[in-house]
C-alpha cells in the first residue's frame, strides 16, 4: 500500500496533461470458487441377521405337536453388540475413520527466500522487472488503513516492481512480501479489509497535482492462500481529466503477507490482477 502520491507516480510522469478522459471499467467481483468435499467414510452394508431354521411341518392327517421336537439353538454367550468373529460389530461399520492429520504449518522464511519467491520477468506475459526497489512506508495519504507497507515489525521483507513495456496504458504491478508472524499478518489483512468502511472516499494533496479525490471499494478475488482480501482504489486529480486505478490484493500464507498492487491509467484488467496474486502465492509454496 502506498500513499496516492506514490500510486500516481507508478503510472509515470504522463499523469499531468498527457492522458485525458480515461474511463475505468465498472468494478466486477469474482466469487470464491466452490470446493467439492470428499466423503469422510465409505458406505458399508449392514451385516444380515442369522437365518432362523424353519419349523418342521406336521405329517398329513396328524395333529401338530404342541412343542417343538427340534432342540433350541444354544444362546450365544457373546454380549449384544460385541464384535463378531470377523471383527465387525453386527449391523454397524467397525468404527469412525481416524481423524485426519494436522497439516504442517509453513516454516518461517528468510529474506533470501522471500526474494527468491518474488514475481519475475517470465511470470506474467508482457511484464518485466523494473529494477527499482519496493519503496518504504510513504504515509500521509489520508487513509491510515492504506498508508503503510507493513515493514514495521517484519522479520524479513522483499519487493519488486514490474511494468508492461509494450502497453500504452502505463500498467504496473508491485509486489511486497512481509514476514510478520501469523497474528500480525491477520491483523494487517483485517485492517485493509476494513478500509472501505473507514475511508471510502477522501481527498489528499499530491505534489504537482494538487487535490486528488480517492475512492475505495471492495473487490472480489476468490480464495487464494489461507485468506485474501482485495480493494479497488480510484484516484481522480482535480487539475487533469484522468483516472488512475489500482487493484490492491493482500494474500496471507501463515505469517507471510503478500501485498500486490496493480495500477493502470485506463481500464484495468481484473483477471490479470487475480492471476498475478495467485502466481505470487504459488511461488512462495515452491520456495518454502
Q: Tell me the pLDDT tens digit for each residue of 192-232.
A: 999 999 999 999 998 888 999 999 999 999 999 999 999 99
Q: What is the mean pLDDT of residues 105-132?
A: 91
Q: What is the mean pLDDT of residues 247-261?
A: 98
Residue keyed to cell 466486477:
28
Residue keyed to cell 480510484:
234
Q: How confident is the model at residue 266 (pLDDT cuts 50, 70, 90)?
A: confident
Segment 147-163, tens digit of pLDDT: 888 998 999 999 999 99
Segment 133-145, tens digit of pLDDT: 545 444 457 899 9
Segment 23-72, tens digit of pLDDT: 223 333 333 322 222 222 233 334 344 444 444 444 444 444 454 445 55
**In b/e form, how buried is each residue of 67-93, taking b as 16+ CB within 10 angstroms?**
eeeeeeeeeeeeeeeeeeeeeeebeee
Q: How confident is the model at residue 243 (pLDDT cuts 50, 70, 90)?
A: very high
CA-closest candidate to residue 262, choices 232, 283, 241 = 232
CA separation for the pair 219, 231 (Å, rounded) = 5
Q: How confident is the model at residue 240 (pLDDT cuts 50, 70, 90)?
A: confident
Say if residues 236 and 162 touch (Cβ distance below 8 Å): no
Say if residues 250 and 280 touch (Cβ distance below 8 Å): no
What pLDDT score was predicted for residue 285?
97
Say if residues 142 and 2 touch (Cβ distance below 8 Å): no
What pLDDT score was predicted for residue 141?
75
Q: What is the pTM of this model?
A: 0.66
Amino acid at each position: 500500500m502506498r500513499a496516492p502520491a506514490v500510486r500516481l507516480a507508478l503510472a509515470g510522469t504522463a499523469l499531468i496533461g498527457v492522458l485525458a478522459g480515461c474511463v475505468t471499467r465498472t468494478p466486477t467481483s469474482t466469487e470464491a470458487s466452490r470446493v467439492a468435499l470428499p466423503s469422510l467414510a465409505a458406505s458399508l452394508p449392514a451385516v444380515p441377521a442369522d437365518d432362523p431354521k424353519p419349523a418342521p411341518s406336521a405329517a398329513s392327517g396328524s395333529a401338530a405337536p404342541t412343542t417343538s421336537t427340534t432342540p433350541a439353538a444354544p444362546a450365544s454367550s457373546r454380549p449384544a453388540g460385541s464384535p463378531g468373529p470377523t471383527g465387525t460389530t453386527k449391523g454397524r461399520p467397525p468404527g469412525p475413520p481416524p481423524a485426519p492429520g494436522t497439516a504442517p504449518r509453513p516454516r518461517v522464511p528468510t529474506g533470501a527466500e522471500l526474494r527468491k519467491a518474488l514475481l519475475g520477468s517470465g511470470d506474467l506475459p508482457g511484464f518485466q522487472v523494473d529494477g527499482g526497489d519496493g519503496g518504504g512506508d510513504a504515509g500521509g495519504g489520508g487513509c491510515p488503513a492504506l498508508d503503510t507497507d507493513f515493514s514495521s515489525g517484519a522479520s524479513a521483507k522483499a519487493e519488486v516492481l514490474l511494468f508492461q513495456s509494450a502497453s500504452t496504458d502505463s500498467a504496473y504491478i508491485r509486489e511486497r512480501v512481509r514476514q510478520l508472524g501469523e497474528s500480525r499478518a491477520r491483523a494487517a489483512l483485517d485492517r485493509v479489509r476494513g478500509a472501505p468502511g473507514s475511508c471510502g472516499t477522501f481527498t489528499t494533496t499530491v505534489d504537482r497535482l494538487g487535490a486528488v479525490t480517492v475512492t475505495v471499494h471492495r473487490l472480489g478475488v476468490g480464495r487464494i492462500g489461507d485468506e485474501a482480501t482485495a480493494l479497488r482504489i480510484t484516484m481522480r486529480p482535480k487539475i487533469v481529466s484522468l483516472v488512475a486505478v489500482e487493484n490492491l490484493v493482500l494474500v496471507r500464507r501463515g505469517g507471510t503477507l503478500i501485498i500486490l498492487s496493480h495500477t493502470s491509467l485506463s481500464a484495468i484488467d481484473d483477471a490479470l490482477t487475480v492471476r498475478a496474486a495467485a502466481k505470487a502465492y504459488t511461488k512462495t509454496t515452491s520456495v518454502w
